[in-house]
């Protein structure tokens, strides 16, 4: 199969990184407060503006932790499938070089010719797209696999990946 995989909140813990930025602005949130909502929907507008300014500088994306199990899962998937990493990097144009460096650091086995910096993901042609936002499945020709996140906890979607350790089994179930 050809599988396209999102970066932020799927391979990279951008949620954890943003929570640290909000904490630096004096705002902390419980998981319960964030279930079903984006950070920027819960945080005060002035804090959102400060965090967005930081995100647009780009360096934020160089210092994110990988999601648990992501490196092992991606390496295994690359053995059996044609894997592309597809990130809507145009949301933060200054992030591009940092995202490339981040991939090289945490996923050194990954072929960078298969790293796709895009805007609208409907351009992607793959069998499966793993993403934490269902809006990226709009117009996508393959099957969307929703990666579990607090913000999408209440989203009803037929295919959900709850942890990278389950990737192999979940993808097999989707094929049957
Ligand atoms: Mg994402």
Catalytic site includes residue 6: yes
CA of residue 62 relative to chain centroid, distance? 14
**Which domains occur in the chain, in start order?**
2-12+65-175 (3.40.50.1000), 14-62 (no CATH)
Chain mean pLDDT for the chain: 96
Any alpha helices (H) in the chain, and if so which ranges?
14-24, 31-34, 39-42, 45-57, 70-80, 96-106, 167-175
Q: What residues form DSSP beta bridges with 116?
A: 86
What does the pLDDT read at residue 72? 97
**Whether pLDDT at 29 is above 90:** yes
Candidates 132, 131, 130, 128; CA nearest to 142 is: 128
Global pTM value: 0.96
Model confidence at 36, pLDDT cuts 50, 70, 90, reads: very high
Would you say 174 and 159 are in contact if contact means Cβ atoms under 8 Å apart? yes
- Average pLDDT on 13-19 reads 98
**Whether pLDDT at 31 is above 90:** yes
What does the pLDDT read at residue 176? 79
What does the pLDDT read at residue 147? 98
Question: Which position among 6, 13, 131, 132 bears the catalytic label?
Answer: 6
- Say how many Å lie between the CA of residue 62 and the centre of ligand 1: 15
What does the pLDDT read at residue 175? 85
User: b vs e for 118-155, b when ≥16 Cβ sit within 10 Å of the residue's Cβ?
Assistant: eeebeebebbbbbbbbeebbeebebbbbbbebbbbeee
- Say how many Å lie between the CA of residue 172 and the centre of ligand 1: 22
Of all residues in the chain, the percent with pLDDT exceeding 70 is 100
pLDDT tens, residue by residue, 66-115:
999 999 999 999 999 999 999 998 999 999 999 999 999 999 999 999 99
Residues with CB under 5 A from ligand 1 (ion): 6, 8-9, 132
Catalytic site includes residue 132: no
């Amino acid at each position: 199969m050809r599988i396209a995989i999102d970066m932020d909140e799927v391979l990279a813990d951008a949620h954890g990184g943003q929570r640290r930025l909000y904490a630096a602005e004096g705002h902390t949130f419980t998981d319960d407060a964030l279930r079903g909502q984006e950070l920027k929907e819960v945080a005060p507008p002035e804090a959102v503006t400060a965090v967005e300014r930081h995100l647009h500088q780009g360096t934020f994306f160089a210092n994110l932790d990988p999601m648990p199990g992501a490196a092992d899962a991606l390496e295994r998937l690359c053995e059996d499938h044609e894997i592309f990493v597809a990130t809507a990097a145009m949301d933060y144009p200054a992030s591009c070089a940092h995202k490339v460096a981040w991939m090289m650091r945490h996923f050194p086995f990954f072929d960078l010719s298969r790293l796709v910096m895009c805007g609208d993901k409907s351009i992607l042609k793959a069998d499966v797209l793993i993403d934490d936002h269902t809006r990226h499945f709009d117009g996508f020709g393959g099957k969307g696999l929703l990666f579990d996140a607090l913000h999408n906890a209440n989203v009803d979607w037929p295919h959900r990946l709850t942890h990278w350790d389950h990737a192999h089994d979940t993808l097999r179930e989707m094929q049957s």
